[in-house]
Structure 1
Amino acid sequence: MNLTLWIAAGLLASVALAGGISKTLIPKARLAAQHGGEWTHNASTGFIKTLGVLELLAAIGLILPAVLDIAPVMVPVTAACWIALMVGAMITHGRLGQSKLVLLNTVYLALAVFIAWGRFGPWSFGS
């Protein structure tokens, strides 16, 4: 199960890294022109960049604390924060009628729930 949790964290960290890089480096107009980026029309550039930075921090927080054995409790804390982020994403995409993106966000949310449950619970790094 430990390996499965590591794989889940790696997958979710990859998603967070990709999302963070795109939101921090790609201009708002280009994001808005892509499918799934319609939500950026009503968002400020600062808000989009802040979400990007949070996603980059999530990518780091899902892996690095455990690898370095420095505050490994941050892995499930980061997963719990990702859950909140995905709830917001699901609401946003749901309001825009983007059911496929809501479904994708649900998958990411489920991965985060699995990581938080496993790392706070029976397979925590402290046990």
Structure 2
Amino acid sequence: MTVVLWIINIVLAVVFLGTGTTKLSRAKDALVSSGMDWADSFRETTVKAIGAAEFLGALGLILPRALDTVPVLTPLAAVGLALVMAGATATHLRRHESPAFPATLGILAVVSAVLGFVTL
């Protein structure tokens, strides 16, 4: 079960490091023009906060368990990312866009959280 948890967490961490870094490093207008139309519904600071949550959550999926320092933070990071993806799914549904990607990431985050708590 630990191997499955690591695989899921690595996949999630790669995705969230990428999306979080993108949201943190680019202006809201640049995000909207690149296809992230949802960002137009939020203030710049909110988009940056979402990016920071994704970036820090990605680090939380890997570092606590890898360093064996407060490993309970790993499933807690997964719970936090699942909540962020629940919000993303709701936003996409509200905007009549496909919620498939955030919903999939949210489900994987929930699986990660469950496996993380089980393997503590």
TM-score, normalised with respect to structure 1: 0.90
Within 2, Cα distance between the matches of 1:64 and 1:114? 18
Which runs of at least 4 in structure 1 moved beyond 3 Å after TM superposition? none
Within 1, Cα distance between the matches of 2:95 and 2:51? 20
Q: Which runs of 5 or more residues in structure 2 are unaligned? A: none
1:49-74 CA distance string (max 9 Å, x none): 11111111011100000011111100
Within 1, Cα distance between the matches of 2:110 and 2:92? 20
Secondary structure class of the residue paired with 2:92: helix
Partner of 1:103 in structure 2? 100
Partner of 1:71 in structure 2? 70
Partner of 1:6 in structure 2? 6
Question: How many pairs are equivalent?
Answer: 120
Deviation at 1:17, TM superposition (A): 0.3
CA RMSD, 1 decimal: 0.9
Within 2, Cα distance between the matches of 1:29 and 1:45? 9
Identity of aligned residues (%): 34
TM-score, normalised with respect to structure 2: 0.95
1:27-53 CA distance string (max 9 Å, x none): 111101122x11111211111111111
Mapping 1:105-124, distance limit 5 Å: 105-121=102-118, 123-124=119-120
